[in-house]
């Protein structure tokens, strides 16, 4: 099977590529290396250094003729989306439409869109939130993902696109980029391993649902096996506060550095946790890695990179 992965040199994308290569799929990667790195990427994947917004990316799709597209490329920082909303819309919305417009409408690939469960639902009424929870994001990032989901639904209605949406909880694990403001686990570990004092935004009582990247890859693998056109939450259903997360990270690396506290970030919501019951029932998927074990693996990887 020919599979194209956008953002395939990045955090989630590179783990997906590894799994596909292990299954002997023919894999092509589009990545502009804004946050990804070639060090993450298997040399068995065809690599195209391209921006998903540019015509060259559309040409690559027409050249490679993928049977499956896994679209992980994105502007992924909530805080950056609030500072520079036009760039968030350019990458997340216009970039996706550029890819969709390049598809052969007589022979669509199966399209997997990596969306967000954390930022899409906004301040929740139900904990954990199911897929039919009202969509009311509090950030430009969450809004851009919601808009892309609507474009996918349009392509299905008008052209017959078969696609799946995976709404991810807060993903962590090896290869996560600690630069910028996305990926709190990576940011904390990078600072702790450098002997710096991390800063917790706000009081640290905000909660998130932390899911390991390898569990996310397993969900993607299952959805492309079944090619089910549906929307799936991919998370653990467990709320963890930033303060609790930080204490778990200290345990994972035997650190004794207490964090500083700073101002709350614009666009951050108080509680975020999602239920993956639909993925369990239809994909036979459930998370395998608990937070403590996942953080230990993540710590070991970051320590090896120092």
Q: Which of 291, 301, 119, 112 is nearest to 212 (CA)?
A: 291
Positions annotated as catalytic residues are 141
Hey, is 216 helix, strand or coil? helix
Backbone angles phi, psi at 109, to 5 degrees: -75, 165
Q: How far apart are CA 105 and CA 160, in angstroms?
A: 8
Other C-beta atoms lying within 10 Å of the C-beta of residue 108: 18
Q: Which of 244, 271, 240, 239 is nearest to 259 (CA)?
A: 244
**Tokens matching residue 22:** 């292990």
DSSP result, 199-242:
EEETTS--EE-EEEHHHHHHHHHHHHHHT--SEEEES-S--EEH
């Amino acid at each position: 099977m020919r599979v194209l992965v956008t953002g395939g040199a990045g955090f989630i994308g590179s783990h997906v590529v590894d799994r596909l290569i292990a299954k002997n799929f023919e894999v092509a990667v589009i990545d502009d290396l804004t946050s990804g790195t070639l060090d993450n990427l298997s040399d068995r994947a065809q690599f195209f250094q391209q921006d998903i917004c540019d015509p060259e990316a559309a040409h690559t799709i027409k050249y490679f003729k993928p049977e499956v597209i896994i679209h992980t490329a994105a502007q992924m920082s909530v805080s950056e989306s609030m500072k520079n909303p036009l760039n968030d819309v350019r990458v997340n919305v216009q970039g996706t439409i550029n890819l969709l417009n390049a598809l052969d409408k007589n022979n669509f690939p199966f399209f997997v869109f990596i969306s967000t469960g954390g930022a899409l639902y906004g301040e929740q009424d139900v904990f954990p939130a199911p897929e039919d929870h009202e969509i009311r994001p509090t950030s430009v990032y969450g809004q851009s993902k919601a808009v892309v989901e609507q474009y996918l639904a349009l392509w299905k209605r008008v052209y017959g696109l078969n696609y799946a949406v995976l709404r991810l909880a807060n993903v962590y694990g090896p290869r996560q980029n600690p630069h910028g403001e996305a990926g709190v686990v990576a940011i904390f570990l990078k600072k702790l391993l450098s002997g710096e004092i991390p800063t917790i935004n706000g009081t640290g009582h905000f909660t998130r649902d932390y899911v390991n990247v390898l569990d996310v890859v397993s969900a993607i693998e299952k959805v492309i096996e079944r090619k089910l056109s549906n929307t799936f939450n991919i998370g653990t259903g467990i709320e963890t506060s930033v303060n609790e997360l930080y204490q778990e990270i200290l345990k994972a690396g035997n650190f004794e550095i207490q964090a500083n506290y700073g101002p709350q970030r614009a666009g951050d919501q108080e509680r975020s946790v999602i239920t993956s019951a639909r993925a369990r029932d239809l994909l036979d998927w459930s998370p395998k890695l608990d937070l403590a074990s996942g953080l230990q693996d993540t710590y070991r990887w970051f320590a090896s990179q120092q």
